[in-house]
Amino acid sequence: MTGAGDLRVLFFRQARQAFQKFPHLGAEWDWDDEGGAVRLRVPKLTPDGFDITAEVDPEEITVFALGAHDHFQAQDGPEAAVQEALGFLFRLLTPSVRLRVRSRGGRPYCWELEAREGGSWKCLSHVVNVTDWLLGLFKPRVKQVYQNRALPPDNLRRR
């Protein structure tokens, strides 16, 4: 990693500081000296939860929730990208967000992140892998819902 203005350094420092407040989350760090990427993994704490991974390179932060993901670009300023990515990541740790996964023949092909707003669920993102959908086309479809409860929703304001 390079200087203090580097997206990877900013993310590492701010995320490490934020996760020190929540040691029960078991955050795991990895950095690739050759490729220059920094990875943060937050394992699920319950069987109905989902792992969250953040991968940071010099240009962007990508936050993954199984196959669902979102990108945070450094072009608007690395500080803003880090704050947005961490806000999204911490939101994924609360019951105010759920992940709906569709699969056929044991192959997941669709991931929908939904957020609780008012009394209903609203779609945040929708990702489809067409290849896996086609490979399982004639097999039974299964829907599963995953939801983390590692942090209460009000922790978002105290982070």
Which ranges of the chain would DSSP assign to H, the alpha helix? 7-20, 78-92, 130-135, 155-158
The residue with tokens 């990702």 is: 127
pLDDT tens for 21-65 read 999 999 999 987 776 789 999 999 999 999 999 999 989 999 999
Which ranges of 93-144 would DSSP assign to H, the alpha helix? 130-135
pLDDT tens for 101-159 read 999 988 999 999 999 998 899 999 999 988 877 777 888 889 999 999 999 986 554 44
Residue 41 CA to residue 30 CA, distance in Å, equals 8
Query: Where do the DSSP E strands lie in the chain?
Result: 28-31, 38-42, 52-56, 60-65, 68-73, 97-104, 107-117, 120-128, 141-146
* 122 three-state secondary structure: strand
Predicted model pTM:
0.88
Q: Which amino acid is at 62?
A: T
